[in-house]
Structure 1
Amino acid sequence: MQLQSNVDNTAPRFPAMQNVARPTMSTLEISQLTGKAHKNIIRDVRKMLAALAADGSDLSHVREERDSRDYTVAYHLDRELTETLITGYDVSLRHRVIRRLHELEGQVIGRIAVPSTLPEALRLAAELAEQIAAQAPKLAAFDLLQGAGGTLNLTEAATHLGIERYRVIRWLSENRWMYRPANSKRWLAYQKRIQQGVVVNKVSVIGTTDEGDSRCASQFRITAKGMTILATKVAEGAL
């Protein structure tokens, strides 16, 4: 099958997958299984990745393969992303791809050997410990929110993340999670980030006017999903 070289190269690149035990399927194989043109598969993948990235999804495991001219040769997707991609495809096409995914998973499982010596067991334990450690920031973020009503303010978030408050404020503002309206000292969440579920503007009653009406104020707060992302950024050294 001839590869298309005039595809759009504006989509974000993603680092190579690190977990070799995770089965992947290339867009080339998806194209062969479904009979769809590879350039159209690439187009669908880019739309999917852009939507997931906007939602805050972790796409670090996606591998984009490029040739010497810097054109996209293929994307390599895990099971979850492959199934997400083919959700809108014809039933028979989905069946072919999913059946192939099962074959790939069986091959991976067949390559996993049970340790027969102490050194092998120790190496396996070390690998599992690394995988657990990689998930620790996400798990910790949810634990921290159990006693905070589901959201945290900036000071609480900085305390739980173990970093200075100004670093949290700088990252959130630079990455357009929040902004400060003119002539205001309060931070407010961007509507896009509210829709993504990472932050909220919590409205609280702060008093009453001379006429007896309630006075309200909005407070920027970070949700469990947002804290998961921030905790991961801290662990990666990006925050």
Structure 2
Amino acid sequence: MPILPQFGNPEQKTMGTREIANLCEKEHRNVKRDCNVMFASLNLDALKFEHIYFDSMNRQQTEYLLDEELTMTLVTGYSIVLRNRVIKRWKELEQQPDLSNPVQLRGLLLGYVEKNIQLTTENQTLTKAIENITATENGVKFQQACKILNVKQADLAKWLRDKGWDRYINKSRASTHYSQERGYCETKFEEVDGVKPSGEPYNYTKIEFFILPKGMAVLAKHFGGEA
């Protein structure tokens, strides 16, 4: 139950006796009785604090709306535990915005708009960065990707392994079926002829691992903070 404005004044916060009864685990009628004793002791008119509400059977009932001072005065006679519970609840409710207050409502709306403008700008910047990163048609090698993304090789290597994007063939990084099928990475194999120091010719398979534009877009979003 929120703190309510008292007597039409949006700046005057109050707590209802139903809320107090719930927090203090007391019957509402008993809390109202305690209020009447307090009003009498302070020479206050109870009618000024009455508030009409309808119960679960749609019957008209009354409760009292108390400001912070009267709320604390009322619960002073209760146990320390119950008094502390009311104090904590009051502070929680005070932090909630009052949507009936034009000043607070305007502040909330302005904050919401400013936040959305900021997020839109950040998203546009990230989108532009992704476009630049994925401008290449052939993809980039692992070391190039690290530089473009401004990420450590160990971090990118771990991410690729955890996501199942790469594997090793003859100690060379290569794409997996998973990453190839989705267009994230590819591996190029090239037969290379060489000559040993002894002059003997030999042949080997050169393995090159590439991260494709689609894969770079995923990585840019992840290391850019979106995932």
Is this a same-fold pair by TM over 0.5? Answer: no
TM-score using structure 2 length: 0.43
Between Structure 1 and Structure 2, the one with more strand by share is 2
TM-score using structure 1 length: 0.41
| Bigger-Rg structure (1/2) | 2
